Amino acid sequence: MELLFLLLAFTGGTTLSFQQVVNASLGLHIGSMKSSFMNHVVGALSAGLLLLIGLKTGNLFVGKIPFTYFLGGCVGVLMVAMCNFAIPRIGMMVMTIFITSFQLLSSCLIDHFGWLGAKSIPFTFVRGIGIFLLVVGAFFVFTKGRTRAYDTC
């Protein structure tokens, strides 16, 4: 059963970079912030359409959800703006490595302390080694020549 979720996460990862390339190309045409806007509009429309034709996975109108849970989308938009600021100043590679390492580090904190509605998964020494290797791997892939002509976000 866990293998299924591993596969799902892998699919998510590849789709993510696919989307980044598409978004960045759109950004070249209509501007990067508007590209992010259109991306979210199309996303909301297609999800809304799926909901309308009856593909329900839960209940949209449950009460008492912490307000912060709704901020995920806004945080994503802010991230795009930050990347757009960072890329011309420090370059793709440096930015990607910083993003990757801090993404993993904060994931560790979230898992360890069970923040934001997570169940706690304690940090171990072995996990630390794993994360170090992940960052080193990303460093090797991203530091020889340019990897992609477009931004990652």
Partner 1 sequence: MNNKSLAILFSMLAGVFVAVATRLNASLGERIGILESSFVIHLAGALFAFFLILLFFRKERGVLRRAPSKQLAGRQDEREKTPVYLFGGGVLGIVIVLCANLSVPKLGMVLTMGIFLMGNLIFAVAADHFGFFGLPVFKITRRRLLGLACTALGLMFVL
Tokens matching residue 76: 């994503």
- Give me the least distance between CB of 128 and partner 1, in Å please: 9
* Rg for the chain, CA atoms, rounded: 18
Structure token digits, residue 94: 């440096």
The dihedral sign for the CA sequence 107, 109, 113, 117: negative
The yes or no reply on residue 44 touching partner 1 (CB under 8 A) is: yes
Cβ of residue 141: shortest distance to partner 1, in angstroms?
A: 4
Residues 56-85 that bind partner 1 (CB under 8 A): 56-60, 62, 65, 68-79, 81-83, 85
- Only one residue has tokens 């429309």, namely 45
CA atoms of 69 and 93, how far apart (whole Å): 31
Site for partner 1 in 112-141 (CB under 8 A): 115-119, 121, 126-127, 129-141
- Distance in Å, CB of 63 to partner 1, minimum: 10
100, 145 contact by CB (below 8 A): no
For the CB of residue 22, give the shortest distance to partner 1 in the complex, in Å.
4
| Cα separations in angstroms, 82 against 14, 69, 136 | 22, 21, 24
Instruction: Say whether residue 54 binds partner 1 (CB under 8 A).
Output: no
Contacts of partner 1 in 97-116 (CB under 8 A):
98-108, 110-111, 115-116
Within positions 12 to 41, which residues make up the interface with partner 1, using CB under 8 A?
Answer: 12-19, 21-23, 25-41
